[in-house]
Structure 1
Amino acid sequence: MVAFELIVDAPVDLEITGKFAAPSPDWIHLSRILLDYELIVMTEGVLYLAGDTTYFTVSKGEYLLLPPYTKQFGYKSSNCSFYWLHFKAQEGLTVTDITDTGHTIKPAENRLLLPQYGTVKSLEKIIVMMKQLQDSVRAYNQKTLNNYMTTVILCELYNQVFQSEHSPLRKTKQEQLYNDIVDYIKWSRSEHIKVSQIAAYFGYNEKYLSHLFSTISGIPLKQYILQQKMELAKFLLSDTNQNISEVSLQLGYKDCHNFMKSFKKIVGLTPTDFRNAYAKRLLFYE
């Protein structure tokens, strides 16, 4: 797999960013030569995009990074939406095979090694950060701030990809159970999840499961469930036009006031204040 090493001892230079939504199911990406890096993070549908002679199929939850001087063109109709940003960076090595033992997975502190294509571990977190960058562009348009925020997004992406694809496999039964619980919670965030429900699903004692989880993660299981619900809430508030009641229902809350109270406790802002703080989304059609 191709990967790009970016030198980030200084922040990268943001050129432009936005969110794209296909204007029709028949939309096909334009043909052009890139003058800088483009990062695409998919939020809905499938994007059929070629870079030189490589044809990519990029689905929701996946990203694509194309380098400068790439001939980019759509090769099929793509009914999709995605966040994107163009940036310039000082490039180190271009690794043609990230599994090659001659190249280390962990670059130096001032370098990021990003595979050209991959799956993000937390799509909602990346989207919220992209939205915050767009809010900064609209509200301040201050180059230094925008450059640092773009660099932070790339660092977050590197850590998500590195942790999800290249971290050593957990070997113990307890650690595997912990991973299974984490996955179960992420898939069930739109439900009213209880610790007793999780314990019953995995066939363990509720007290034992709670102790195991807090020992490995450092936080109580109930707290983790709440945090994951609020991560999804932040995504819905920043990337959709659903009202507070609709977001509350989607997260499994029967009482909207309980949702607002929980959100304020975890995030430090009310849902309305959070939405208003990052309301300046950039929507572009290419």
Structure 2
Amino acid sequence: MFNKTTSPNFKDFGDITYKELDSNTSTFYKFSNKSIKNFKLTTDDNTMISVSKGVVMILVSLGINNIKSFIINRNLIIKKGVYFNFISISDEAEILISSHSNEFPLVDLEEEYTYSSISSSLNINEIYTKFYQEKGINYNFPGETHPYWELTYVDNGVLSTTVDGKDYELRQGDLIFYAPLQFHTQSTLDKNSSSYLTINFNMDFNHHELLCNKVFNLQRESYSVVSNLIKELSNDSIYSNDLALCYLKQLIIQTLRLENSYSQSRPTTHMQQTYENQLLNDIIKFINDNIDSKISVDTLCSHFCISTSMLHSLFKKNMNNTVKNYINELKLNKSKELIKSSTYTLSEISEILGFSSIHYFSKKFKSSFGVSPTEYSKSIYK
């Protein structure tokens, strides 16, 4: 974070003043530099500085090695014997300097000091297309290239893809990027179906090697970002497009951080959070492994020896969802996967997933997806 010249830390180098500088007796400087190679040295106690345009960072030191930086937010008086110089944070800046001597000896720095601006290194300019695709078994897309980025996120099932002649397999929660002009195919296997999100977009990003030719398995914190992205892409509310671009950028940055974290030691976390993360992961795995059984809150509490309130708290805090809703959503998504496999009848699917009746299953399915299981099945194999 930046320090301001009104900070107590600036007291060693000078102080603020509400006195205005006389432009007729002051020296005017206009500059846009983002780095400095030398310092000016104050030779009296009356050096006054005022910013007349832009955002200015003043660099100060009592020697030439221990450099401190402050954003100028008031008129200043610099103490005698202080080394100082300026960097323009804005595109350009203007200042006034008033001093009795008007002479500032220059002292070269051992190394050039450069300001690292807070700017974006990854810009998404436009989303071209957005599809939520649901493919049954033996789907085969022979491949294409195009001059823009593409993202594919697998929501359910298994998706196979070939990128520049190399084969990859994506499962639920996996994400892959295709760079501009990178040839890629997509297909499902003879025993698997797949549901996945596909987004084509224009992005300014120079480090293709960080995203391409690899499969990313998203962590839990990215699931809500994907959910919000899908929501805004399907929304016509004001600024939904802007939010969608923000969520897409957030997803990409979190993916880049995930990749980078593999080569770094992970920071120590609070013991309680570590325990909660492990417990929640175990509960989610248990639910996924037993989704074809009748799972209740009591079943989970008994199996993991925790209270009902703790279970609800875990899901609310980390999943922003209730346990019951999570299980129902998982069952309904699983039902779509089973329908696409064309192995079971709708009655069998209802029974496999533990719904009380085919009528209740159909009601919940239509409430969640807007179509009945029968209509959904016809749309897949139309």
Same fold (TM over 0.5): yes
Match in the other structure for 2:48: none
Change (3 A) 1:271 1:82: closer
Residues in 2 aligned to 1:153 and 1:250: alpha-carbon distance in whole angstroms? 36
**1:49, distance to aligned residue in structure 2 (A):** 0.5
Change (3 A) 1:116 1:77: closer
Q: Secondary structure at the match of 1:14?
A: strand
Match in the other structure for 2:299: 197
Match of 1:92 among 205, 211, 222: 205
Change (3 A) 1:152 1:249: farther
5+ residue gaps, structure 1, are: 99-113, 264-269
Structure number with bigger Rg: 2
CA contact (8 A) 1:40 1:82 kept: no
Match of 2:184 among 61, 72, 79: 72
CA contact (8 A) 2:339 2:346 kept: no
Match in the other structure for 2:175: 63
Residues in 2 aligned to 1:163 and 1:227: alpha-carbon distance in whole angstroms? 30
Residues in 2 aligned to 1:68 and 1:199: alpha-carbon distance in whole angstroms? 49
Q: Give the % identical residues.
A: 14
Please tell me whether residue 14 in structure 1 is matched to residue 112 in structure 2: no
Change (3 A) 1:233 1:180: closer
Once the two structures are superposed, residues 48-103 of structure 1 have per-residue CA deviations (whole angstroms, 9 ceiling, x without a partner) of: 4023x6x24123212211111223357x99556453534222323426458xxxxx
**1:186, distance to aligned residue in structure 2 (A):** 3.7
**1:200, distance to aligned residue in structure 2 (A):** 3.9
Residues in 2 aligned to 1:160 and 1:244: alpha-carbon distance in whole angstroms? 39
What does residue range 104-253 of structure 1 map to in structure 2 within 5 Å? 117-120=215-218, 151=245, 154=248, 157-158=251-252, 172=271, 174-175=275-276, 176-202=278-304, 204=305, 206-207=306-307, 210-218=308-316, 224-235=322-333, 248-253=350-355
Change (3 A) 1:150 1:36: farther
CA contact (8 A) 1:21 1:82 kept: yes
Match of 2:151 among 22, 25, 39: 39
CA contact (8 A) 1:248 1:259 kept: yes
Deviates more, 1:64-73 or 1:149-158: 149-158
**1:227, distance to aligned residue in structure 2 (A):** 1.4
Match of 1:272 among 346, 350, 366: 366
CA contact (8 A) 1:128 1:235 kept: no
Q: Which protein has greater RCO, CA pairs closer than 8 Å, 6+ apart? A: 1
Tell me the C-alpha RMSD between the 2 structures.
5.3
Decide which structure has greater helix share: 1
- TM-score, scaled relative to structure 1: 0.55
Residues in 1 aligned to 2:199 and 2:141: alpha-carbon distance in whole angstroms? 19
Decide which structure has greater strand share: 2
5+ residue gaps, structure 2, are: 1-120
Change (3 A) 1:13 1:274: same
Residues in 1 aligned to 2:132 and 2:313: alpha-carbon distance in whole angstroms? 41
Residues in 2 aligned to 1:96 and 1:66: alpha-carbon distance in whole angstroms? 11
Residues in 2 aligned to 1:132 and 1:97: alpha-carbon distance in whole angstroms? 26
